[in-house]
């Protein structure tokens, strides 16, 4: 499937991958909270966290370019908000600290999601008493994400193959049609899934 790029590295084999998912989730959370709560006057600690993360990254056997790419994808959002911090006294220092902290947290979460299949995370959340309806929703969402993204792509391709003179207004109407079809099909699929669940005795 073309979308396993969204989930390609979570099932590699490495010492990190083999850790229990609960441990990874708790560690990631703890790390993020530690970084976020840290008062700005301790850059040494941030450096230490960075080293830990780099070691974990190395152990995880995820290709470096992939990791960097994922962090780079999200960095603009960090920078975008951090830039606003410049407009006040002491802005530069605050900017640097914000970007540093946020990027470290980003790297932590990227490492978490790429060493732990989402299904495992979900199981941990379920064990932590997340409400059943939310767990079911997350589970089904994860399962059908790829199916829907695929459908959307196929529909766009089908439209593109019949578009000879791209005009912006047409494009918007077409995209809206694709989205509406996506919802309609999702709605129908949900009914079929309900039937399938009942067929296996869902109560």
Partner 1 sequence: MHIPDGFLDTKTAVAAGALAAGALGLALRQARAHLPPRRVPLLGLAAAFVFAAQMINFPVAGGTSGHLIGAVLAAVLLGPSAAVIVISAVLIVQCLMFADGGISALGANIFNMAVLGGVGGWAIYHLVSRAVKGLFGRVLAAAFAAWCSTVIASVACAGELASSHTVRFSVVLPTMAGIHMLIGVGEALITALVLVAIARARPELLQPDEATEPRPSYGAVVAYGGVIALGLALFVSPLASRWPDGLDKTAEALGFKDKTAAPVLPAPIPDYEVPGLHWSTLGTAIAGAAGTIVVFVLAWLLARVLVPKTRPENTASPPAGR
Partner 2 sequence: MSAAIEVRALGFRYGEGTEALRGVSFSIAQGECVGLIGPNGAGKSTLLLHLNGLLPESLKSEGSVFVDGSPVTADTLHEVRRKVGLLFQDANDQLFCPTVFEDVAFGPQQLGLSEAAIRERVTQALAQAGIPGFEARAPHHLSVGEKRRVCLAGVLACDPSILVLDEPSSSLDPRGRRELKELLRQIPITKLIATHDLELVVELCSRVIVLDEGRVVAQGPTVEVLSDEELMLRHSLEKPHALRHLHPH
| Positions in 109-148 near partner 2 (CB under 8 A) | 117-119, 122, 139-140, 142-147
Structure tokens at 2: 């073309």
99 within 8 A of 79, measured Cβ to Cβ: yes
Q: What are 135-143's contacts with CB under 8 Å, separation 24+?
A: 140/193, 142/118
Residue of the chain from 18, 168, 169, 200 that contacts partner 2 (CB under 8 A): 200
CB contact set of 13 (below 8 Å; sequence gap of 6+): 61
Q: Which is nearer to partner 2, 96 or 126 (CB)?
A: 126
C-alpha angle 40-44-45 in degrees, rounded to nearest 5: 75
Q: What is the 3-state secondary structure (H, E, C) of 104-117?
A: HHHHHHHHHHHHCC
- Which residues in the 170-189 window bind partner 1 by CB under 8 A? 171-173, 175-184, 186-187, 189
Does 37 engage in binding with partner 1 (CB under 8 A)? yes
Q: Which is nearer to partner 1, 59 or 149 (CB)?
A: 149
Does 192 engage in binding with partner 2 (CB under 8 A)? yes
- Which residues in the 39-68 window bind partner 2 by CB under 8 A? none
Q: Give me the phi and psi of 8, to 5 degrees please.
A: -80, -35
Does 165 engage in binding with partner 1 (CB under 8 A)? no
Contact partner, 62, from partner 2, partner 1, none, Cβ < 5-8 Å per class: none
Question: Which residues are near partner 2 by CB under 8 A?
Answer: 1, 3-4, 7, 11, 117-119, 122, 139-140, 142-147, 189, 192-193, 195-203
């Amino acid at each position: 499937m073309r979308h396993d790029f969204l989930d390609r590295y979570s099932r590699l084999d490495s010492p990190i991958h083999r850790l229990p998912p609960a441990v990874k989730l708790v560690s990631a959370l703890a790390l993020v909270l530690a970084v976020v709560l840290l008062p700005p006057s301790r850059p040494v600690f941030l450096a230490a966290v960075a080293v830990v993360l780099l070691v974990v990254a190395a152990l995880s056997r995820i290709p470096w370019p992939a990791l960097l790419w994922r962090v780079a994808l999200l960095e603009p959002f960090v920078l975008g908000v951090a830039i606003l911090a410049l407009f006040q006294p002491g802005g530069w220092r605050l900017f640097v600290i914000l970007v540093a902290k946020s990027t470290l947290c980003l790297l932590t979460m990227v490492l978490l999601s790429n060493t732990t299949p989402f299904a495992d995370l979900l199981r941990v959340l379920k064990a932590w008493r997340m409400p059943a309806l939310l767990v079911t929703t997350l589970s089904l969402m994860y399962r059908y994400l790829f199916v829907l993204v695929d459908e959307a792509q196929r529909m766009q391709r089908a439209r593109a193959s019949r578009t000879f003179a791209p005009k912006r207004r047409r494009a918007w109407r077409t995209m809206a049609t694709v989205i509406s079809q996506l919802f309609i099909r999702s709605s129908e699929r949900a009914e079929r899934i309900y039937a399938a669940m009942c067929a296996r005795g869902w109560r």
